[in-house]
Amino acid sequence: MLTLPNPAALAAWVAVAAALLPGAAITEALVLAAGVGLGSAAWFTLLARWLSRVPRDHRVVRILPRVALVGLVGIAVFGVVRTIV
């Protein structure tokens, strides 16, 4: 629930949609925004459900945030390099 109303995440998706579909009609943009919102909600709900079944002292609970961090840093570095080059 904290991620969905995040203005930075919403602004990022608006920028992505504007870059991918510059000539999109309002209805197309609204459908895309609804799809992103529903997809994000579904993903975080599913992830929370999976993690709620894992014991708190399990190894996955310690490793998963690190894997996510490495993935996000990798995406950010790729985006910066792609923009510069």
pLDDT band at residue 5, thresholds of 50, 70 and 90? low
Distance CA 39, CA 61 (A): 23
* CB atoms closer than 10 angstroms to residue 14: 14
What's residue 74's pLDDT? 92
Residue 46 DSSP one-character state: H
What's residue 70's pLDDT? 93
CB 24 within 8 A of CB 32: yes
Tens digits of per-residue pLDDT, 22-74? 887 878 877 877 887 788 788 888 888 888 888 988 888 889 889 989 998 99
Token reading at 30: 């609204």
Q: Does pTM top 0.85 for this prediction?
A: no
Helices 26-52 and 7-20: crossing angle in degrees, nearest 10, is 130
Residue 7 confidence (pLDDT) above 90:
no
